[in-house]
Amino acid sequence: MSLPIGNDSFWIDLLSDASHNWGLIMYEQDWLHAQTSKFIPLRTDINLGEQWLISMGKGAEKAGITIQYCSSYPRHALQALEIPRVTQARVSSDYTSHIVHKGNQWNIGITSMLADALGIAPFKDVFWSTSNEPGSSYK
């Protein structure tokens, strides 16, 4: 894993280029939980996570796009209070974990209330309309 830190140019360049050349209007930062728990510098430097997310927000501001958080911890949602470009957060687990591990990805009540209380629109991951989705690699 790696993390762009030290200045805002990475996020400004990436998101501005994507906005102007690809028509990007929203950036999704997924796997926040894994990055936070598995990337040692984020666990050992008290300021690094804040710098990373604030820098991402500044890049989104310059590019005129919004940010959607996925697989976030409450700490990410709380940090978003300082990042107006974070407008939504996924409040459910991945749908594939429901298929593969029979997890309860419908349990979104508490996380939805937290997101809404923070001014972040909650959303649930996709769902299948049948138990066997034709063409899917997940069974």
Domain coordinates in residue numbering, the chain: 9-123
**Number of residues assigned to the chain:** 139
- The token pair at 129 is 């309309």
Q: How many CA atoms lie within 13 A of 53 on its CB side?
A: 27
Minimum mean pLDDT among 14-18, 54-58, 70-74, 94-98: which range? Answer: 94-98
Interval 29-45 mean pLDDT: 95
- The token pair at 1 is 């894993």
- The token pair at 32 is 């926040």
Q: Give pLDDT tens digits for 57-66.
A: 999 999 999 9
Contacts of residue 126, Cβ cutoff 8 Å, sequence gap at least 6: 95
- The token pair at 115 is 């997101």
